[in-house]
Structure 1
Amino acid sequence: MSESFYAVLNDRAVIRISGPDRVSFLQGLVSNNIETVSATKSGYGALLTPQGKFLFDFFVYQQDEDSLLIECERGENGERAADLFKKLRMYKLRAKAELADVTDSYDVIAVFGKDALTNLFDDTAPGTTGRIADGIKAVDPRLSAMGARVLLPKNSLAEMAAIGAAESDAESYHKLRVTLGLPNGSEELEIEKSILLENGFEELGGVDFKKGCYMGQELTARTKYRGLVRKRLLPIAIDGPAPETGTLIMNGDKEAGTIRSVHGSAGLALIRLERVGEDADLVAGDAKITISVPDWVKLPETAA
């Protein structure tokens, strides 16, 4: 039996950017190389403060020869998407680019499970992109193991049954996501505080160090080339009562990290690498915490 599932992610929004300056406009803002986005390749990146701290992360797809689509956080009442839209509009200035919130036109869908990519792609490299009906399908640009992302026009979910995917829910998607160690925007990253390289953006293809200037580039580059990564967002297993987000993880009387999200008995935590070793006895509240390091994560040699 095929192990392929889909979940509609109602916490996601879609913004369209069209016009002749759409690529150059985003290129000066976003941490990744927007020039590589095409009909066959999608991307993942972030918008930072001028000081290099996290504001938004998102996926970028080519809708057609004149338009790009940004898939981003929606926020509980749409506020995160609205804030990103306002920020982009503020920076647009004289650029020949038009912005439109097209969230109501699309379902954003995650396809996951062992066979998630089988009926969608021949090439399963991250970011591989194609068409599905009147929508877009892409291998998750961060990590193929996460499956695929699909943007379909509303009322087109029958396409999911056509590829052999069974209906699931967003929580099942998030449980897999945290097990793999992938952040979900402001759920795990602190706005105006978090640093990309502490949260896996380099390994997950969310930063291009050769593309040239973008907002917040200086801190991101300095963090990499001076080896300043001392914390990492890592998957955790929770044995005991689920701690609240923000709960400190303790190793004896020393702070070893902070819980960033919890989904069932799994979650993500920002871990202070120097405080964690093979003999670590970690707790958060009344729960025992076990850290895992996914294969894709590259820790500093002194912390490996």
Structure 2
Amino acid sequence: MSESFYAILTDRAVIRVSGPDRVSFLQGLVSNNIENISATRSGYGALLTPQGKFLFDFFVYQQDEDSLLIECERGENGERAAELFKKLRMYKLRAKAELTDVTDSYDVIAVFGKDALTNLFTDTTAGTTGRIADGIKVVDPRLTALGARILLPKNELAEMAAIGATESTIEAYHKMRVSLGVPNGSDDLEIEKSILLENGFEELGGVDFKKGCYMGQELTARTKYRGLVRKRLLPITIDGPSPDAGTIIMNGDKEAGTIRSVHGNVGLALIRLERVGDDAQLHAGDAKITVSVPDWVQLPETAA
């Protein structure tokens, strides 16, 4: 039996960027190389403050020869997508680009499980992109273990049955994502505070260090080349009462990190690398905390 599941990600929004300057407009803002986006390749990146701190992360797809689609965090009442739309419009200035909120036109779907990619793609390289019915299918550009992302026009969910995927829940998807150590926007990153390289963006393909200037590039580059990463967002397992996001993780009487999000008995936490070793005894409130390091995470040699 095929082990492939899908969940409709109702926490996502879609913004269309069209017009002749769409690529150059985004290229000067986004941490990844927008020039690489094509009908066969999608990407993941972030918009930062001028000081290099996190504002938004998102996926970028090519809709057609004149349009790109930005799939982004929606927010509880759509406020995060509205804030991104407003920010992009502010920076557009005289660029020949048009912004349109097309969230109501699409279902954003995650396909995950052992057979998620083999049922959809022959090439399972991260970022590989193709068509599915009137929509777009993508091997998750961050990590192939996350499966695929699909953008389908509304009312085309019959395609999910056609690929042999069983309906699951958004919570099941996020629990899987967290167990792999992958962040999800402002659920796990602090707005105007978080630094990309502390949150896995280099390994997850969210930063291009060769593309040239973009907003916030200086801090991102300095963090990499001066080896300034002292914290990392890592998956945790919780044994005991579930702590809230924001709870401090202690190692004895010293702070070892901060919980960012919790899904069942797993979560993500920003961990101070010098405070976590084989002899660490971590707790958050009355819960015992165990930190793991996914295979894809590259820790500094002094912390490995």
Instruction: Please classify the TM superposition score into its range, dividing by the shorter chain length.
Output: over 0.9
Amino acid at match of 2:221: A
How far apart, CA to CA, are the structure 1 residues paired with 2:33 and 2:4? 31
How far apart, CA to CA, are the structure 1 residues paired with 2:118 and 2:228? 40
SS in 2 for 1:302: coil
Deviation at 1:118, TM superposition (A): 1.2
How far apart, CA to CA, are the structure 1 residues paired with 2:209 and 2:117? 29
Note if 1:245 corresponds to 2:239: no
How far apart, CA to CA, are the structure 1 residues paired with 2:119 and 2:253? 51
Partner of 1:195 in structure 2? 195
SS in 2 for 1:303: coil
Amino acid at match of 1:56: F
Deviation at 1:67, TM superposition (A): 0.2
Amino acid at match of 1:123: D
How far apart, CA to CA, are the structure 1 residues paired with 2:145 and 2:77? 30
Partner of 1:267 in structure 2? 267
Partner of 1:59 in structure 2? 59
Partner of 1:220 in structure 2? 220
SS in 2 for 1:111: strand
Consecutive unaligned residues in structure 2, runs of 5 or more: none
Partner of 1:84 in structure 2? 84
Identity %: 88
Amino acid at match of 2:51: Q
Partner of 1:96 in structure 2? 96
Deviation at 1:291, TM superposition (A): 0.5
How far apart, CA to CA, are the structure 1 residues paired with 2:231 and 2:119? 38
User: 1:31-50 counterparts in 2 under 5 A?
Assistant: 31-50=31-50
How far apart, CA to CA, are the structure 2 residues paired with 1:249 and 1:90? 39
How far apart, CA to CA, are the structure 1 residues paired with 2:292 and 2:176? 14
Note if 1:126 corresponds to 2:126: yes
Partner of 1:298 in structure 2? 298
CA offset digits 1:31-56 (Å, max 9, x no partner):
00000000000000000000000000
Partner of 2:147 in structure 1? 147
Note if 1:211 corresponds to 2:202: no
How far apart, CA to CA, are the structure 2 residues paired with 1:181 and 1:280? 20
TM-score normalised according to structure 2 size = 1.00
Partner of 1:282 in structure 2? 282
Paired residues in the alignment total 304
How far apart, CA to CA, are the structure 1 residues paired with 2:165 and 2:146? 15
How far apart, CA to CA, are the structure 2 residues paired with 1:167 and 1:33? 34
SS in 2 for 1:85: helix
How far apart, CA to CA, are the structure 1 residues paired with 2:126 and 2:9? 20
Consecutive unaligned residues in structure 1, runs of 5 or more: none
CA offset digits 1:153-179 (Å, max 9, x no partner):
000000000000000010000000000
How far apart, CA to CA, are the structure 1 residues paired with 2:119 and 2:223? 40
Deviation at 1:119, TM superposition (A): 1.3
Deviation at 1:191, TM superposition (A): 0.2
Partner of 1:257 in structure 2? 257
Amino acid at match of 1:70: I
Deviation at 1:234, TM superposition (A): 0.1
- For the aligned residue pairs, the C-alpha RMSD in angstroms reads 0.3
How far apart, CA to CA, are the structure 1 residues paired with 2:280 and 2:163? 45
